[in-house]
Structure 1
Amino acid sequence: MNSNKMFFFFMLIFSTFISISSNSWFGCWIGLEINLLSFIPLISNSSNLLASEASLKYFLTQSIASINFMFSILMKLTLMKNFEINNFISIMINSSLLMKMGSTPFHFWFPNIAEGLSWFNNFLLMTWQKITPMILLSYYMNKNFIIIISIINTIIGAIGGLNQTSLRKLMAFSSINNLGWMLISIMMSENLWLFYLIMYSFLISIMCFLFKLLNMYFINQLFISNLNYLIKTFLLINFLSLGGLPPFIGFFPKWIMINSMMSNNLFFTTFIFIMMSLIMLFFYIRIIYSSFMFNYINLKWMNIYIKNNQMMMINFISFLSMFGMILSTLFFF
């Protein structure tokens, strides 16, 4: 991490605070622009063509969303008194923010860009980059529109991940699926959304850390590599936790979300969300099952050396995933 990257990383964090603490739409827009211009130097890499392509695609999509956002705000200012057009403007503002966070029906850029990024940048794209648009969305929300979008999000995230061979694209579709949950949670309560986001960020950080450590980018690498059985078990635990299977900690936020959705009479939405979570679990289990079953010869180039302190960290994180649900159940008593 050189000084340039550190500066842009600081600006990335600072721009989010500018947006969410601004008292005007124009201030929010400035924060989003600074965020965009500080994220691009972090992801662009002259030695990697895919990263350069990803940074250009990211710039174009975010610019279009920003223009749309600015145009919608100006329309809102000029046509404030007209109530019929108000509904349309709220959908316009919501759509531009959904495009910024990579939600359906503007999700096409998201897996393509995730494919060109390193694991750390992927982690940033899936967690930190979603905070600003979501908080801005909660200020001016068209509730019926958001419910429909979040249902489509969970469906696209679950079905899109079925035929993926790239782990980065798979995590991107997983992120789209979880975005559906987050959109519903921010519609009900900001505290609920914050809790879900923290838990999701924790689980995604574990997966990105593990894949970076094992230098893995495709599913077949999990089959070929004759990994240590302890590492395979940790991958199993964390995948199932991300899928939201009890008794792992990933189920805890989903459990609270289902409770809140039922108390808000969103029965059909809850049903769709649970069904799509089953599809997510299906392809997670398929990956893990294959990597457990196939036991290839250990190839010379696949040697993985993990330092003891990193192994201790993986042990600790997996322990949290395993026993987190039991610990979280104690909160209810």
Structure 2
Amino acid sequence: MFFLFILIFSTLISISSNSWFGCWIGLEINLLSFIPLISNSSNLLSSEASLKYFLTQSIASINFIFSILLKLFMMKNFEINNFISIMINSSLLMKMGSAPFHFWFPNISEGLSWFNNFLLMTWQKITPMILLSYYFNKNFIMIIMIINAIIGAIGGLNQTSLRKLMTFSSINNLGWMLASIMISENLWMFYLIMYSFLISIMCFLFQLLNMFFINQLFISNMNYMIKMFLLINFLSLGGLPPFIGFFPKWILINFLLTNNFFITTFIFIMMSLIMLFFYIRIIYSSFMFNYINLKWMKIYLKNKFMILINILSFLSISGMMLSTLIFL
């Protein structure tokens, strides 16, 4: 609990700082507070993940502080400014696990619990994203957000691990977030809140069911209500109307089309369809496959939290309809 408080505090240090050096200090405190949260001496995968996370984040931090110092000494040289902005952007993108600097993200997520994965996919992106909005190279970020959308969609196609699947989903959504932060910080905040809401339901449900791989969804003889929750939340996360996950994407598509980003919008929509394809494939398997040898073991979650998930799933399906009525 103490380290979680430090994690939140470090984000506030970074986003309220009036110098790049203060932002860097905030990022370092964030790194040092997140490692004790994810490391577990009794779990080798968790220990390995914390070490990998430390090394990759340290490399990104070194790159970030080097770029800041270079900017400080080369202030009058306008020709090198473009190169420095790309370096600062790259180090921040590496910190948030953005493609093509995502090499560490799926491997680390595999060794973490669902709660730590939720933090890694949501809270750990806030600081680098806000710092990126202060000083971004527009052309570079345009390319990166398209790469994010493509890698996030294609990378999830051959995954059997639910944690890796959620990671590639996060990379795809990061492309949408980068597009939203280029337009407006309010739009980005709205998208992040919506995405955090949906991913929290998924992580919470998988934590309750103790599920880490796709085959567990159809080997485990779950009752159809739980499968229905999974269906609703997966489709909402994929951005299918009339679910609430489509709402922030709809607003963002409107903004992109208004600013004549037709090719970018087309790529984003196509990649969202691929995302929906592998979400539907998982749900179809869990509904249709039946294992006779496990008939004796039926999973019913008699848990007070299931009422909460039920309410959240209902919000997910009804929210888009309500928002459409507001716009009409």
Q: Distance in 2 between matches of 1:124 and 1:301?
A: 36
2:266 aligns with 271
Are 1:226 and 1:298, in contact at CA under 8 Å, matched by a contact in 2?
Answer: no
Q: Distance in 1 between matches of 2:144 and 2:228?
A: 35
* Deviations 1:116-163 (CA, angstroms, capped at 9, x unpaired): 000000000000000000000000010000000000000000000000
TM-aligned CA distance change 1:303 to 1:54, over 3 Å: farther
2:38 aligns with 43
Does 2:137 correspond to 1:142? yes
Give, as a single letter, the amino acid of the residue that structure 1 aligns with 2:190. F
2:292 aligns with 297
Other structure's SS at 2:327 match: coil
Other structure's SS at 1:246 match: coil
Does 2:111 correspond to 1:116? yes
Q: Distance in 2 between matches of 1:64 and 1:303?
A: 47
2:254 aligns with 259
Q: Distance in 1 between matches of 2:326 and 2:125?
A: 28
* Deviations 1:265-310 (CA, angstroms, capped at 9, x unpaired): 1111000000000000000000000000012136399654523422
Q: Distance in 2 between matches of 1:323 and 1:98?
A: 34
Q: Distance in 1 between matches of 2:313 and 2:19?
A: 43
- Of the three residues 14, 22, 34, the one matched with 2:17 is 22
TM-score normalised by structure 1 residue count? 0.97
Other structure's SS at 1:83 match: coil
TM-score normalised by structure 2 residue count? 0.98
- Of the three residues 174, 199, 204, the one matched with 1:179 is 174
* Deviations 1:302-331 (CA, angstroms, capped at 9, x unpaired): 654523422211210110111111011122
Give, as a single letter, the amino acid of the residue that structure 1 aligns with 2:24. W
Does 2:65 correspond to 1:73? no
1:198 aligns with 193
- Of the three residues 215, 233, 238, the one matched with 1:238 is 233
Give, as a single letter, the amino acid of the residue that structure 2 aligns with 1:245. L
Does 2:73 correspond to 1:87? no
Q: Which moved more, 1:294-303 or 1:52-61?
A: 294-303
Q: Distance in 2 between matches of 1:39 and 1:312?
A: 31
Q: Distance in 2 between matches of 1:73 and 1:10?
A: 28
Other structure's SS at 2:102 match: coil
- Of the three residues 294, 297, 322, the one matched with 1:327 is 322
Deviating above 3 A after TM superposition, structure 1's stretches of 4 or more consecutive aligned residues are: 297-305
Are 1:101 and 1:130, in contact at CA under 8 Å, matched by a contact in 2?
Answer: yes
Are 2:151 and 2:171, in contact at CA under 8 Å, matched by a contact in 1?
Answer: yes
Q: Distance in 2 between matches of 1:26 and 1:331?
A: 44
* Deviations 1:227-260 (CA, angstroms, capped at 9, x unpaired): 1101111100100000000000000000001001
1:215 aligns with 210
Are 1:57 and 1:113, in contact at CA under 8 Å, matched by a contact in 2?
Answer: yes
* Count of aligned residue pairs for this structure pair: 328
Identity among equivalent pairs (%): 87
TM-aligned CA distance change 1:298 to 1:131, over 3 Å: farther
CA RMSD of aligned residues (A): 1.2
2:92 aligns with 97
1:3 aligns with none
Give, as a single letter, the amino acid of the residue that structure 2 aligns with 1:214. L
Give, as a single letter, the amino acid of the residue that structure 2 aligns with 1:165. T
Are 1:225 and 1:298, in contact at CA under 8 Å, matched by a contact in 2?
Answer: no
